[in-house]
Amino acid sequence: MTAPTDQHREGKKDVTFRIFRFNPQVDSKPYFDDYTIQVERGITVLRSLNYIKEHIDASISFRAFCQAGICGSCGMRVNGLSQLACTTQVWDVLAKSREPGIIKVEPLRNLPLIKDLIVDMDPLVDKMKHYSNWIDSTMPESSMGKKEFLISEEEFLRYDKATDCILCASCVSECSILRANKEYVSPAVLLKSYRMNVDSRDAIHGERLAELVKDHGVWDCTHCYRCQESCVKSIPIMDAIHGIREDAIELRGMKDTSGSKHAEAFMSDIEKKGKLVEATLPIRTNGIVWTLQNLLPMAVKMIMKRRTPPPPPLVKSAKGIKIFREMFREMTEHVRQDHKSHKK
């Protein structure tokens, strides 16, 4: 550990990089190696790693290519947070380090480890294939190259931000649901799926959407916003996830999955009572059989503790519900008109 010295004012610091090491062919378990080097202001984590590899220990493995935040290769966790090593300034990280002078560097989470800081991206690529993360053109092959595909400015704006994704997998690493189940579609794939689905040149919108609403798909997201918060390109990933859900409800109705039924309950309860009727939410989401099988023992406990009322669940409407309902329905009419004029 380095105590603050005159070096700081001169723009140089001794920094210890505590690097995660694991070679599954040799090591029985992971460990950390410390490398202390002098770093100048303005130096990135990636340049520091390059220096260590060139001058101290050539056996450290990490991926990197463009060094400019474009290629997405150098995603890793720096002091616990998934980000690009090439756009992360050592001094910025140090300012927030819990242990003064030490920067911990670890591989991304939620992807299999290959060696040291390198993870296997294949599961992500497989999911991109599974969810058809490409444009399957509406233009017949015979016409390709002969005429242009013009896109309106308005349409482009809908996926402009989503196209910024460089597949660095920082969001994948931070995702709460992926941490709980590796089968989950993952935020990066939802973002790509949204980007393809709102493109008018695409012909397989319906098929892709049908896949996205299945198990481990778009409805499993728990709205934790960790993906969005860690995105190195500041893409509003949750807007894309909500965009797919909005699309699914519009095209597939509100009754085809437990996720859409759950969402529908909010809309109908608000219109009827101005309040959510929580006690019946499990039944309306998953049906009576699922609720009895999964929640009966807990429901009994909840009723005993008066956390939930015994049936029938009576919820008092919000005060002034009559006029509220009128206003709610007036907005429903607005939405209907919007749909008619294709303006959403």
Partner 1 sequence: MKRYAYYLSCINESMTKEVDRSIGLWQKDLGIEFVKLHEGTCCGGSNLDYVSPKHFALVNGRNIALAEKMGLDLIVSCNTCLMTIRSAKKKLDEIPELKKEVNEILKKEGLEYRGTSEVRHLLWVLVDDVGLDTIGKKVKVPLKNYRIAPFYGCHILRPSTVLGHDNPRDPSSLDQLIEALGGQTIPYKHKNRCCGFHTLLVAEQESLNVAAEALQEAIDSQADFIVTPCPLCHTSLDGYQAKALKQAGVERSIPVFHISEMVGLALGYSAKELGIKRHIVG
Binding mask 83-112 for partner 1 (x = CB under 8 A): -------------x----------------
Between CA 191 and CA 235 the distance in angstroms is 9
Q: Which residues within the stretch 303-322 sit at the binding site for partner 1 (CB under 8 A)?
A: 305-309, 315, 318-320
Residue 122 beta carbon to partner 1: minimum distance, rounded to whole angstroms: 22
Token pair 């008619």 in the structure block, residue:
340
> Can residue 278 be called a binding residue for partner 1 (CB under 8 A)?
yes
Structure tokens at 275: 């309040």
Q: Which residues within the stretch 217-276 sit at the binding site for partner 1 (CB under 8 A)?
A: 219-226, 228-229, 236, 238, 242-243, 245-246, 249, 254, 258-259, 262-264, 266-267, 269-270, 274-276
CA distances from 340 to 202, 243, 335 (A): 23, 19, 9
Judging by beta carbons within 10 Å of its beta carbon (0-12, 13-18, 19+), is residue 31 exposed, middle or buried? Answer: exposed
> Can residue 182 be called a binding residue for partner 1 (CB under 8 A)?
no
Cα 194 off chain centre by = 12
Residue 205 beta carbon to partner 1: minimum distance, rounded to whole angstroms: 17
For the chain, report the end-to-end CA distance as a whole number of angstroms. 57
Q: What is the spatial order of strands in the sheet that 12-21 belongs to?
A: 31-40, 12-21, 102-106, 75-78, 81-84
Judged by CB under 8 A, the residue of 139, 151, 180, 288 near partner 1 is 180
Looking at the chain, how many residues does it have? Answer: 344
In the complex, which residues of this chain contact partner 1 (CB under 8 A)?
Answer: 81, 96, 176-177, 179-181, 184, 216, 219-226, 228-229, 236, 238, 242-243, 245-246, 249, 254, 258-259, 262-264, 266-267, 269-270, 274-276, 278-279, 281-282, 285-286, 294, 298, 301-302, 305-309, 315, 318-320, 323-324, 326-328, 330-332, 334-335, 338
